[in-house]
Chains A and B, each alone.
Chain A
Amino acid sequence: MEQEILLLKGNEAVAHAAIRCGCDAYFGYPITPQSEVLETFAELEPWKTTGMVVLQAESEVASVNMLYGAGGCGKKVMTSSASVGIALMQEGISYMAGAEVPALIINVQRGGPGLGTIQPSQSDYNQATRGGGNGDYEVIVLAPNSVQEMADFVELGFELAFKYRTPVIMLSDGVIGQMMEKVTLKEQRPRLTNEEIARKYPWASIGRTPDRKPNVITSLELQPEIMEKHNLHLQAKYREISQNEVRYEMSGSETPELAIVAFGSAARISQKVVDLAKAEGIEVALLRPITLWPFPTESIRELATKVKGILTVEINAGQMVFDVRYAVEGRIPVEHYGRLGGIVPSPDEILCALKKMLKP
């Protein structure tokens, strides 16, 4: 397959991009608003072309553990789900973080809590950026704001997952997953052979070769001294990721009076707010975190020296706002605007919230 430009939903783009970047397996369970991922895989039948495995599991619990098994063999593996299903996967994600199994997990968020709604939301921010399961661990969180990024972050996600031997979460939402946009898909890349995997990833439990000791993929160690050492190793890895992998995008005014910090679809809407504000003579900069963990703390701290106030726009009750306030350290006001229950805020209401910040 050559490079190709198609009109796709974010969820569909994920499947196309995964096959093309040489993904080895997808395990998933249907849930709105992301069922198109599994449906697209089923339609494209990659097992007939690249040999990629696609399997509908009996539950999200099973999907994430299939991911652990196949990822533990050094294979490029992924799953996708929406909020409720991702909550079920937390056990497996914690195990993968502990056992250092690389994998890509896509969350096309919907409103909660509980069964909540099938409409878009960003209310899993805290869950994604605080590890999500039990134990001291972090996962890299990528937040796409377009169909193109949903496609591109599949490959980036795998790259980071293997570079650091960690699960990576792509935190999308019902807007990005469901909307259709033009997307450029890269050419087909080959999957790694078992021999390449055994060479490249000497830790993989791919079948013991006579020249090495057995590989054991495990998160368990009963001796606390050894377990502490393992935890310190994980923490050192997280510090390295924090230093190297922060990604964000600045747009809008270069001489801003106010700034918006927003990710994913909220950032997309906020682009319009920047234009509306400019038309009314208000200069606004937009900082879009692309990695939610590691968070662009330093850049926001610096931004805080240039503006009078920051508004975080999130489709939740105010979660990222605490990370922004931590970065700003009380120097300027930081407010939050969001809608709940699956309602996506309009540019006008965000503009109103922004204007309030200018009132004495």
Chain B
Amino acid sequence: MTKEEIIQKGSLAYEKPSLLNNNTMHYCPGCSHGVIHKLIAEVIEEMGMADKAIGVSPVGCGVFIYKYLDIDFQEAAHGRAPALATGIKRVLPDRLVFTYQGDGDAAGIGGNETLHALNRGEGITIIFINNAIYGMTGGQMSPMTLMGQVTATSPYGREAAIHGYPLKLAEIAAQLEGTAYVTRQSVESVAAIRKAKLALKKAFQISMEEKGSCLVEFVGTCSSGWKMTPVDANKWMSEQMFLYYPKGDLKDITKKEKS
């Protein structure tokens, strides 16, 4: 059987979204980015917003997201994606504008831009990938690194006296008047992926309704940075990260509207 024979419409149980192109991704095996990229492509496609979507990529492993998703993109300076998204959304209010940022980008160097864009209630979605480490530069400590976690810049484990504490960015975002929807998701299992997709779609929809800003955090793995196998990375994430970063909706103003 040839590849073409196998890949036929009738025998397809699963199809790649058309907005996700055929470029080979640069991500490591076991990394969460690829799955999340796919979810973004699926949701934009289902919403029929391919012509109206403008993404902003970060500095970090996600920097090349524009090579994989066939929509208009802007590549921001480290941490400044929410400011770019603000500029874009303000001059093009009918566009679907989102940023894609890691924890070093959104919570570290761009903490100020993140909080102010969210608190202004910009009609944007910040997609925030929290893998508790700087992946691209080789596994250094990030604001989200857990206590005791070993990284290249905390080789004896994160210690409060030296490094301070992990930042619960989503919990802070949920307190801001400007946010409409704040949720924490993950993509380690089919069930989690399905839930995450619904959350992402909800965020994108809310961002188009002038209700406020949205933050969708994905707790993700960095098997290379964590120096674990993909399987062990998923296990460590489930056992350690979900304890400190519990999953679920932290804020949803559409629920208040219904009650």
Residues of chain A whose beta carbon lies under 8 Å from any beta carbon of chain B: 24-25, 27, 53, 55, 57-59, 61-63, 65-73, 75, 77, 91-92, 95, 99, 194, 205-210, 213-220
User: In the complex the two chains form, is A99's CB within 8 Å of B75's CB?
Assistant: yes
Beta-carbon nearest neighbor of B72 in chain A = A205
**Known pairs A57-B86, A70-B90, A217-B73 / 19 extra A-B pairs, C-beta < 8 Å:** A24-B91, A27-B87, A61-B113, A65-B77, A65-B87, A66-B84, A66-B87, A68-B77, A68-B80, A69-B74, A69-B76, A69-B88, A73-B92, A205-B74, A206-B92, A207-B72, A208-B51, A208-B71, A214-B71
Q: Binding site of B, secondary structure by majority: helix, strand, loop or mixed?
A: mixed
For window 46-60 of B, CB contacts with A under 8 Å fall at 50-54, 56-57
A155 → chain B, closest Cβ, in Å? 19
Which residues of the other chain, A, contact B116 by a CB distance below 8 angstroms? Answer: 57-58, 62
Interface size on B, residues (CB 8 A): 32
User: In the complex the two chains form, is B83's CB within 8 Å of A69's CB?
Assistant: yes
Closest 8 CB pairs of A and B: A69-B87, A69-B84, A65-B83, A66-B87, A218-B75, A70-B87, A58-B116, A205-B72
User: In the complex the two chains form, is B72's CB within 8 Å of A65's CB?
Assistant: no
Which residues of the other chain, B, contact A218 by a CB distance below 8 angstroms? Answer: 57, 66, 73-75
Across the A-B interface, how many residue pairs have beta carbons closer than 8 Å? 131
Write out, one digit per residue, whether chain B residues 98-113 have a CB within 8 A of any chain A CB (1) or not (0): 0000000000000011
B85: Cβ under 8 A from any A Cβ: yes
User: In the complex the two chains form, is A219's CB within 8 Å of B75's CB?
Assistant: yes
User: In the complex the two chains form, is A53's CB within 8 Å of B66's CB?
Assistant: no
Given contacts A53-B90, A53-B91, A216-B66, contact A66 B83 (CB under 8 A): yes
B95: Cβ under 8 A from any A Cβ: yes
Beta-carbon nearest neighbor of A47 in chain B = B90
Which residues of the other chain, B, contact A213 by a CB distance below 8 angstroms? Answer: 70
Which residues of the other chain, A, contact B51 by a CB distance below 8 angstroms? Answer: 207-210
User: In the complex the two chains form, is B90's CB within 8 Å of A25's CB?
Assistant: yes
A142 CA / B77 CA spacing, docked (Å):
26
User: In the complex the two chains form, is A92's CB within 8 Å of B80's CB?
Assistant: yes
Q: Which of B54, B57, B63, B90 has the most CB of A within 10 A?
A: B90
User: In the complex the two chains form, is B84's CB within 8 Å of A68's CB?
Assistant: yes
User: In the complex the two chains form, is A62's CB within 8 Å of B83's CB?
Assistant: yes
In the complex, which of the residues B63, B80, B85, B88 contacts A220, with contact meaning CB atoms closer than 8 Å? Answer: B63
